[in-house]
């Protein structure tokens, strides 16, 4: 088959961008590309996370393993993760994973000296690299009326209890462990195409129109107060539950509504853990997807490429 028939020219339209949230449209491509992008964002964009913990003193109520696990899940600012080396590939420290090119060192020292409970948080982690620190979630416009960020609680200490430790953070990907995943959630949905049969809709009474609209669990349709015409107020609120289609059939009006999914148009929602900004997460995922496709296209070991990528690998090599 001619390779040109596979060619796509995807376009992206940004809808909303915040530090930890991004919403955009991906058009003129198919579900395979949309899902590949989603999976790369979740599992293959690298971040930095604590991977080794050496505990000197721990007299808290939590055991060493519990604290080490909690430290690993603290999100760290990972803007330089793309340029860092994986510890296993670092030639500066022979794969030891404890040099400045592939790791960042943290220290934590906390002791409760009074009768009040002491909260040990991510704010108490002191980094050897000012660009890699625990994510700061403070927000002066917070609805909770507080501007103070106390960090993520690691453990609580009572009088006389102490925690002293050293931790090494390394570069990794979500495929190896969830602590390295930069995404809290990444979802996409097919953009719905909704057409109302106006002639059939005119045969319904106002009460029937309202009953039909209310059959949808989400606010997709509404009635114009002046013309009493039913219109689509929010097509993207439709969740492909087909409740309005079933309601129309139950009312004896099949064909009242036609809803189809556009197979080449997707709406993405990306939420970041804060380690990498949501917009940068999307850009990094595109770069990594390009690298993976180039690796297939340029692979000399066709057997290995075919085992990993099957027909796609053979196609990209022109086979």
pLDDT in tens, 198-213: 999 999 999 999 999 9
pLDDT in tens, 32-76: 999 999 999 999 999 999 999 999 999 999 999 999 999 999 999
Best CA proximity match to 251, nearest among 294, 212, 196: 212
Kindly indicate the confidence band of residue 92, based on its pLDDT and cuts at 50, 70 and 90: confident
CB-CB contact of 107 with 53 (8 Å): no
Q: Tell me: pLDDT of 11 over 50.
A: yes
18-30 pLDDT, tens digit per residue, is 999 999 999 999 9
Query: What is the structure's pLDDT at 144?
Result: 42
pLDDT for res 294: 86
Over residues 136-165, the mean pLDDT reads 75
**115-143 pLDDT, tens digit each:** 899 999 999 999 999 999 999 876 544 44
What pLDDT is attached to residue 140? 42
pLDDT for residue 96 is more than 60: yes
pLDDT at 217 over 90: yes
Integer Cα distance of 260 and 53 in angstroms = 52
Top-tier CATH class for 47-177: mainly beta
Q: How confident is the model at residue 297 (pLDDT cuts 50, 70, 90)?
A: confident
Architecture of domain 3-44+265-316: 2-Layer Sandwich (3.30)
What is the structure's pLDDT at 300? 61
Lowest mean pLDDT among 168-182, 238-252, 255-269, 301-315: 301-315
User: For the residues 146-151, what does the mean pLDDT come to?
Assistant: 63
The pLDDT value given to residue 311: 52
CATH architecture type of domain 198-255: 2-Layer Sandwich (3.30)
Q: What are phi and psi of 33, to 5 degrees?
A: -70, -40
Distance between CA atoms of 237 and 147, rounded to whole angstroms?
34
User: What are the tokens at 3?
Assistant: 């390779």
Looking at residue 307, its pLDDT comes to 59
Confidence band, pLDDT 50/70/90 cuts, at residue 3: very low
Q: Is 133 in contact with 76 (CB distance < 8 Å)?
A: yes
pLDDT at 148: 60
Q: For residue 147, what pLDDT is reported?
A: 44
Among 57-71, 148-162, 301-315, the least confident range: 301-315
Q: Decide: 24 and 15 in contact? Cβ < 8 Å.
A: yes
pLDDT (0 to 100) of residue 308:
58
SS3 per-residue string spanning the chain: CCHHHHCCCCEEEEEEECCCEEEEEEECCCHHHHHHHHHHHHHCCCEEEEEEEEEEEECCCCCHHHHHHHHHCCCECCCCCCCCCCHHHCCCCCCCCCCCCCEEEEEEEEECCCCCCEEEEHHHCEECCCCCCECCCCCCCCCCCCCCCCCCEEEEECCCCEEEEEEEEEEECCCCCHHHCCEEEEEEEEEEEEEECHHHHHCCCHHHHHHHHHCCCCCCEEECCCCCCEEECCHHHCCCCCHHHHHHHHCCCCCCEEEEEEEEEEEEEEEECCCCCHHHHHHHHHHHHHHHHHHHHCCCCHHHHHHHHCHHHHHHCCC
The domains of the chain are located at 3-44+265-316, 47-177, 198-255
Joined together, the tokens standing for residue 183 give 């995404």
């Amino acid at each position: 088959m001619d390779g040109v028939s596979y060619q796509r020219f995807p376009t992206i339209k940004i809808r909303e961008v915040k530090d930890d949230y991004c919403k955009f449209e991906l058009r003129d491509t198919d579900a395979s590309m949309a899902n590949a992008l989603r999976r790369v964002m979740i599992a293959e964009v690298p971040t930095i996370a604590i991977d080794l913990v050496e505990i000197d003193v721990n007299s808290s109520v939590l055991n060493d393993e519990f604290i080490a696990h909690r430290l690993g899940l603290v999100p760290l600012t990972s803007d330089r993760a793309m340029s860092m080396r994986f510890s296993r590939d670092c030639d500066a420290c022979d794969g030891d994973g404890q040099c400045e090119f592939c790791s960042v060192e943290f220290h934590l020292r906390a002791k409760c000296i009074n009768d009040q409970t002491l909260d040990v948080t991510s704010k108490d982690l002191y980094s050897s690299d000012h660009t890699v620190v625990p994510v700061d979630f403070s927000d002066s416009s917070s609805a909770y009326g507080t501007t103070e960020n106390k960090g993520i609680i690691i453990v609580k200490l009572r009088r006389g209890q102490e925690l002293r430790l050293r931790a090494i953070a390394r570069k990794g990907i979500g495929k190896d462990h969830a602590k390295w995943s930069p995404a809290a959630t990444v979802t996409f949905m097919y953009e719905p195409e909704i057409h109302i049969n106006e002639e059939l809709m005119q045969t319904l009474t106002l009460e029937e129109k309202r009953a039909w609209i209310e059959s949808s669990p989400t606010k997709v349709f509404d009635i114009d107060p002046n013309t009493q015409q039913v219109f689509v107020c929010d097509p993207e609120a439709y969740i492909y539950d087909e409740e309005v289609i079933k309601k129309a059939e139950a009312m004896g009006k099949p064909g009242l509504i036609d809803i189809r999914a556009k197979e080449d148009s997707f709406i993405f929602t990306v939420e970041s853990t804060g380690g990498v900004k949501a917009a940068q997460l999307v850009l990094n995922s595109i770069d990594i997807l390009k690298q993976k496709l180039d690796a297939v296209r340029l692979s000399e070991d066709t057997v290995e490429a075919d085992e990993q990528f099957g027909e796609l690998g053979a196609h990209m090599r022109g086979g």
